[in-house]
Structures are given as structure tokens and as C-alpha cells.
Amino acid sequence: MRFGVYAMSPVSRSNRGVCITGMHRSGTSMVARLLNLCGLYLGPDIRMMPPDEGNPAGYWQNLDMDQISEDLLTHFSGGWDFLLPIMPPDWEKQPDLKPLRDRAYELIDANSSHLPWGWKDPRACLTLPFWNSLLPELKVVVCLRNPVEVALSLARHTGSTDAFSFNLWLRYMQRLLDDTTPEQWIMTHYDVYFVDPRSELERAVKWLDWSVEKDQIDAACQAVSTTVRQQRLSEEDLAEARIPVDVVDVYETLCVEAGDVLQGALEQGTIPRLAPREAIGFRLPPADTTPPEVKAEAQAVFEQAHSLIARNRLPEALTVMQRAVSMHPFHARAQNDLGVLYLSAGDHEQALAHLNLAHQLDPDHADTAKNLADAYMQLGRVEDTIQTFLDVVHRHPHDVEALHWLGTACASQGQTEQAAKLFSRILELKPDHTAAREALSALEQLPPPAA
């Protein structure tokens, strides 16, 4: 018998399980199969997602667990690939999720009669609080792959642009890290299985505390040798990639957590490092050491510049604002306004430098991000513009102006499915938004994409 939402589960129910997750196209299917060959029960064969052109070796994904993930994302008006769900605090405890909890408990009861048991689902990166609430001893195997390779794979299979792929990679990793502790997960890199599969698989098995026979490890390693690897990075791919600074930083941090075999392969060059020729964004200086009296003087100069702007004396205002920024580089509003002044003067690269810095200093300020996007657009850097507006929408999910601009940009780039989702979201927030309704109607009248 259960009493309310927080009732205790039956004594016979297992609190353990293994979730294999990570960003899409990061090797979750391959790792799930390897662990399956080492004894992990993934569910009845008849309920496994069938292989297809996107993954001819099989997905090893339980359709029943898969549906719960889909229903969770739908419940919060989100999806796996674009408009990620907005989860309120303690969302996993909401009473209206009880039907989903009951279904999940039934699956846990059925699958946990086979030990060890688990499931594979990249979307678990977004829904781990739900599973943690049902399985307090859940262990998470996180599959990591170079984000450039992920972007190339997504482009091939879904038509995603680099901006969308890098944004999605970052959000998945951030949510996973926010919703777990390092003790709960092991980070395993896709490339290592093509360099030293035995060492990496034994590392994972040891962390899971399993006793696995040598012939099982051998069979799993043989499966790696026959795995169809559909995407391989070239040096040119890495050099030409333009990746957001945040993605580079998070990936390099996670690589440190992915074991000694990866570190050795990176040092030897067997596995390429992520070293783009030019990253999107700038890193801030380590600290603001401006003395208080200088900050006060810089503020007075900033206000003087605004007095000149109010009188439309923009060239003079630019010179004065330069002085304010030189006195106090961490003054976010001064950096933003100097960027706007440079933009009005036609100096796009200078504008971009200052707006980028302003955005880093105050990432939640939507107007700064929109100014940055405008600078990118004037330079013809559409991917960077989309990336910036994706960040605005992530931080301000109800910003109708940002949603509309992003939808328009997507439509202009042929990303009609994403554009339709954005215009639909606007109409959910503001049903009388005529421009969004007209744009959505125009998209619906377009012929379907060629197969």
C-alpha cells in the first residue's frame, strides 16, 4: 500500500540500477551493448529499439523506458533536441507525475529481477532527478565524445547546424553535472574503445563492482572491433571548427575525469585534442582588481558618456566611454554601451570584442546578448548569431522577442522544424502574436523536405 506521493517502495524492489547516458551520438549504444555482453540486462529483446540506418549495430534502448523519458519531456513542454524542458525546482516530486512514477516502478520491478540491470537513454541527462528519486542507489555511466564529432554526426543524421549541436551538447552536460554527484557517475570516452577497449571496459566494470569472466570481456572487445564507426574526425575538422568557449572548457574538464587511458592517448596524439583555431566567445580575466575609488571615477565617466549620447554626440561619447572601460574593464554596462557605439560607427570587430566581454560579465542581461547577436549578424556570422540567441532563450525562456528572432533565423537557414517549434512556443506564451502566427502558417505551407 502507498500513502500519498512519497510512499516507500516495497521491500522487494531494487534501489539499484545502471543508467547509460550522455549526449546523443556519443557512443551510448555501443557502451550499452558492451555492458550488456558483460552481463547487464537491458530488458526483453522484443522491447529493444530496432536498428536502422542511423545505428545499424542497434540502439540497445528499451522502448518502455524510452517512452517514460518522452512523456516526461512532453509534460514540461519540451523535447530532446531543441526547446529543452524548463524544469522547476523539485520538479520530480510533483504530484501530477504520479502516473509516470507508477509506470516507472512497474518497469523497475520487472527488470530488476535480472541483476545487474539497467537501461540506456541519452535523454536521461535531462531527467535524472526523476530516476534518482525512484532509484536512490542508481549508478550512471556517462558517455563522452568530442563535441565536434558529435556535431558532424548530428548534421549527418538530423541536419542539425553546428550552433544547435554545440548548444545541445553543453545543455546536456550541464544538466547531468548539476543533477548528480561525481560519486554517482563514471565518465567514459567513446574514442578510447577504439584504442584500448579492454582497459576501458575493465575500468567501467570495476567501477560498477561486477565480477565478469574473461571470455565475456573478450566477446565485448570483439564487438568493438566490428562496430561500424560512421564518423571520424580529421585534423581539418578540428582546426576549422568554431566552438563556443563554454563547450571547450566543459569538454576539457570532463576529459580529465575520463580516466588514465584517455589522458595517455591525448598526450600521445592517438586521440585528437579539442583545439579549434578560433573559439566563439572570450574568457574573462581571472579577477577584478579595480580599486573602489577608481570604480567610482569610472562610473562618473560612464554617466558623462551617456549625457553625450542623449545629445546625439556619438563620436565624443565613444571616446569618453573608451576611457570609462579602460579605467574599469569589469564594468559590464560600459562594455556593452561601448560595443553599441562601435557598432553604430561601423567598427564591427571592435563592437564584437566589447559586446562579448559584456555578455560574459553579465550573461543574464538579455539586451547585451541581443546586441551581441546583432553584431554577429552584421558580420554575416549567422551560426554565431543563432548560438547567442539560443543562450538568450535558455536563460529567458519567455522572451518573446528572442524566440521570434531565433525562429526567423532558423527559417532563413532552412531549419523549418526548429522554426516551427519556436513560433509555436511564442503562441503558447502570447496567443495574439500576429507575426508568429503568420510565420507558422507560412512554414506549414512549405513543401515537405525531399527524402
pTM, entire model: 0.82
Residue 333's domain spans which residues? 282-390
Residues 246 and 157 in one domain: yes
Residues 64 and 174 in one domain: yes
Residues 430 and 341 in one domain: no
Residues 450 and 348 in one domain: no
Q: Is residue 11 part of a domain?
A: no
Q: Is residue 257 part of a domain?
A: yes
- pLDDT at position 282 is 72
Residue 428 sits in a domain whose CATH number is 1.25.40.10
Side-chain half-sphere CA neighbours of 76 within 13 A: 24
Residues 319 and 418 in one domain: no
Q: Is residue 349 part of a domain?
A: yes
Residues 386 and 402 in one domain: no
Q: Is residue 170 part of a domain?
A: yes
Q: Is residue 450 part of a domain?
A: yes
Residue 344's Cα: distance from chain center in Å?
Answer: 34
Pick the last residue of a domain from 390, 409, 437: 390
Burial of 245 (0-12, 13-18, 19+ CB in 10 A): middle
- pLDDT at position 14 is 61
Residues 204 and 253 in one domain: yes
Q: Cell numbers of 270, please? A: 592517438
- pLDDT at position 231 is 64
Residue 90 sits in a domain whose CATH number is 3.40.50.300
Residues 232 and 98 in one domain: yes
Pick the last residue of a domain from 340, 367, 390: 390
In the chain, the number of structural domains is: 3
The DSSP bridge partners found for residue 139 are 18
Distance CA 314, CA 308 (A): 7
Pick the last residue of a domain from 237, 268, 299: 268
Which residues have C-beta within 8 Å of that of residue 367, sequence separation ≥ 6? 336
Q: Cell numbers of 199, please? A: 582497459
Other beta carbons within 10 Å of 6: 9
Residues 74 and 203 in one domain: yes
Number of H helices, E strands in the chain: 20, 4
What averages of pLDDT result for each successive group of 10 residues across the chain (451 residues)?
31 73 95 96 94 84 95 91 86 96 95 94 97 96 96 87 90 96 97 95 96 92 74 77 89 96 95 82 83 97 97 97 96 96 92 92 95 90 87 92 92 88 93 96 79 48
Residues 111 and 138 in one domain: yes
Q: Is residue 313 part of a domain?
A: yes
- pLDDT at position 448 is 66
Residues 73 and 188 in one domain: yes
Distance CA 65, CA 62 (A): 5
Residues 254 and 320 in one domain: no
Distance CA 26, CA 193 (A): 12
Q: Is residue 275 part of a domain?
A: no
- pLDDT at position 449 is 58
Q: Is residue 277 part of a domain?
A: no
Distance CA 29, CA 11 (A): 32
